[in-house]
Amino acid sequence: MRKEFFIIGAGLFILSLLAHFLFKTSLLIAIFIFILLIIGIFNSLQHKHAILRNFPVLGYFRYAFEEIAPEIQQYFIERTTDGKPFSRNERSLAYQRAKNLSSTTPFGTQLDINTSSYEGLKHSIFPAHVNEELPRIIIGGPDCSQPYSASLLNISAMSFGSLSVNAIMALNKGAQKGNFYHNTGEGGLTAYHLQGGDICWQIGTGYFGCRNDEGNFDAEKFKEKANLPSVKLIEIKLSQGAKPGHGGVLPASKNTEEIAKIRGVKPHIAILSPPCHTAFNSPKGLVEFIAQLRKLANGKPIGFKLCIGQTNEFEAICQEMIDQNCFPDFITVDGAEGGTGAAPLEFADGVGMPLEPALIFVNKTLIRLNIREKVRIICSGKIISGHAILKAIALGADLCNSARGFMFSLGCIQALRCNTNNCPVGVATQDKMLIKGLSVSDKFERVYHFHKNTLYAANELLAAAGKTSYEDVDVSIFMRGDEFTHLSDLYFPDNLSNVTKH
């Protein structure tokens, strides 16, 4: 193709020059072709990109189409029900509720309901009255002296750094108005989180905000922030669903001078948190660390977050709790389908237990060991609707956290550019020009409405099932689509034989 390019290019260049001199046409055409020839010569001589070496100019179209491939997929190819990680229908639901608009849909479901992937609610012929009051749950075990009344739905861990300053402030102001908590993520507690909303301060392996010069845990720095009035809970991050066994990742393009100062690291370099804690390295050490943090925080609720991997390790942690008679006030269970701003593909696609079996396992383990009443279970992972909340509770959760649901309420369009610093709506970027597009005064209202309307939808579903309390919710109120198929196989042949014409 190189040979043809130069033959055709040189011929067109000569013809354009002749046309200019003979017919007084514009010289711009000849200049343009000459520039393309220079680019072609350069690409033919370079050794880095084979496609540009073989297709000196046309090769650029390949890179252009690759760059806009996510947009082509989202706007022209995907159907309303099959977008990933969230379908267009799910995203639209979040947008409508955030804008406080009607979230009704016309003409019936677009799902194939006769398959195992369909999960239907077993409604009651005699539904209960819909409760207008949004549900709350007390977090605080036997050793907690400052229990916290939490909303059933809260903002999951998202760090300042991964998200923009405007996004963080809008989330916290929305949490303040809706009376629910905002998890800081492992990036640390900053002034932008202190807009009046309740805070769950997450302590990750980097100990950002409570680390010493060597990067280890600093008890005095922790104590200072943990006792701020806005801080209601403290969460130790052991792992997260999107990259369990891997530390947090902040790309260099997002690590600004301000963020580096907050985290106590060097700016403009990629920040890779350690995969494990230095304050402890065993179940015994973890339980002792929980007790230490509870003492430093003057009795505020202390818990930990994890994605389940080797189940025997979680069982060992539970046994250590019993042996030391020291229990976390909550355990946050994340699923392998959880979100992240940046993760290696192998970890995102191939590590960790999905949320459903993880929730069942954690709940059943705590029940088997007779310690379930001492610990609240928080579910985190693709919680975006009232149906998802009810399902999580049926599988064993007491309350739920959502990250991407609240990102949608901020205006996230699932552009899949969180790790590039080029988020087009100013949510997951540190580009000041893009951040300006996110209006805090508008978006915090949307955060508030998304929370309120999603919980009200959960209340409606609860009532449809004939229940008046979330404590009455279990898996018996759900059915899978293939149950209909089995029923058909079992009963229709007999029924049909009674109506067959003879």
pLDDT in tens, 331-384: 999 988 888 877 888 888 888 888 999 999 999 999 999 999 999 999 997 899
CB 399 within 8 A of CB 154: yes
Give me the helices (H) in 133-267, please.
165-178, 219-226, 257-263
The percentage of residues in the chain with a pLDDT greater than 90, rounded to a whole number, is 57
DSSP state of 341: S
Both structure tokens of 44: 């033919």
CB 9 within 8 A of CB 36: yes
For residues 221 and 223, what is the distance between their CA atoms, to the nearest angstrom? 5
- pTM of the full structure: 0.87
* Secondary structure (3-state) at 92: helix
Long-range contacts of the stretch 105-114 (C-beta < 8 A, 24+): 110/79, 110/80, 110/81, 111/81, 112/481, 113/481, 113/484, 114/481, 114/482, 114/484, 114/485
pLDDT at position 55 is 85
- Give me the domains of the chain, ranges plus CATH numbers: 2-67 (no CATH), 136-479 (3.20.20.70)
Torsion of CA 140, 193, 184, 234, to 10 degrees: -30
Q: Which residues contact 478 (CB under 8 A, 6 or more apart)?
A: 119, 120, 121, 122, 391, 394
Report the b/e string of 366-378 with b at 16+ CB within 10 A: beeeebbebbbbb
DSSP state of 372: G
Strand bridging mode 136-139 / 148-151:
antiparallel
pLDDT in tens, 231-246: 999 999 999 888 888 8
Q: Which residues contact 14 (CB under 8 A, 6 or more apart)?
A: none
pLDDT at position 500 is 44
Intervals of the chain under pLDDT 50 = 492, 495-496, 499-502
